[in-house]
Structure 1
Amino acid sequence: MVKLISLLKRAEGLSREDFRTWILEEHVAFARKLPGLRKYTVNVAVAEDAPYDAVNEMWFDDDEARAAAFASDDGKAAGADAGAHTSSRVHVLTTEHEFI
């Protein structure tokens, strides 16, 4: 299992509240359609001066499943939606090691 962590900075001119509404109510509909997505979490920043406004976590069976998901029409639509609402996105592919 691999986890894709995405650090998201809201688009210029998008308020914190509008970003929060978008990521928790609108963008999640795209994630629900991604083939092979096993788990999806959204973490919205609390501090106003945080370097990113949200951190998303997406679990896939392997990197091939992740690549196939984002190559699909639904994956391309999700990427376009994220691009329209963010000024910066950083993606880190990881393997999770849980200790507590």
Structure 2
Amino acid sequence: MAAKAGLKIDEFAERWRQHAELTLKPEKGLGRHHHNLIIDRTQKGIVFQRGQLEFDGIAQMWFDDLNQMRRAFPSHEPSLATDRASFVSDVTTLTTVPNPVITCRTGGSVVKRMSTIRRRPEMSQERFQREWFETHAYLVRRMPGVLGYTQNLVIDRSTAQGGASADEVPIDGVVEFIFRDAAAIEAAFTSDSGLTTMAHAKEFISEISTSIVEVTEFPLGIHRSS
């Protein structure tokens, strides 16, 4: 989502948190809910063409299946749309299937790096998924300092106006990396295995838009106001 013009980042973050009071209801069946506030848009660790779509925040919501997701957020909930419009100028919704490659088991302070990616125009959806889930996942596992890595394959897209095509929302995947710190990001991608991984990325990805995010994790299953 993109913040309304004139809102400072801390004001946007607070209004977004308040919006969660409407969203996170026990009866919705929502398992997890994260707010990822974008605090740095530099292409840390990589040299790659960046996409045209930019966001100020990425909300993540986990459901057991598509039917549960559709029941949780029916299209006739005007209160959510009205409240969101008070602090958001644009919203894009992606339905994804996660592929957790490296599960983060470390505690303490970490850095989360998220990216949206677009496949090369000659690449079919099937081949893109195979290259990403199989070869690329194997290469990332060899990179030093990667504490967590999840691939999220986009299976549906929509905007505030309704369903959207891949041309209208040119995002085919969302990447989540976890590192100890910013120095670990640079070390991972400039290592020999990191350079090999990014050389492979250029074979099936045309755009990567990378950001460092600040994560807010809401309670599982139920939201309790503070």
- In which range does the TM-score fall when normalised by the shorter chain? over 0.9
- Structure 1 gaps of 5+ residues are none
Partner residue of 2:123 out of 5, 14, 17? 14
- Structure 2 gaps of 5+ residues are 1-109, 157-164, 220-226
Count the aligned residue pairs: 100
Q: Indicate yes or no: 2:201 matched with 1:92.
A: no
Where does residue 41 of structure 2 map in the other structure? none
- Secondary structure at the residue paired with 1:70? helix
Q: Indicate yes or no: 2:174 matched with 1:65.
A: no
Distance between the aligned counterparts of 1:29 and 1:87, measured in 2?
Answer: 20
Larger helix proportion, structure 1 or 2?
Answer: 1
**Which stretches of structure 1, 4 residues or more, deviate above 4 A after TM superposition?**
none
Where does residue 196 of structure 2 map in the other structure? 77
Bigger RCO (CA 8 Å, 6+ sep): 1
Is the CA contact (8 Å cut-off) linking 1:2 and 1:96 kept in structure 2? no
Instruction: Supply the AA of the counterpart residue of 1:28.
Output: A
Distance between the aligned counterparts of 1:80 and 1:6, measured in 2?
Answer: 17
- Secondary structure at the residue paired with 1:97? strand
Where does residue 44 of structure 1 map in the other structure? 153
Which stretch shows the higher mean deviation, 81-90 or 35-44?
81-90
Q: Computing the radius of gyration over CA atoms, which structure comes out larger, 1 or 2? A: 2
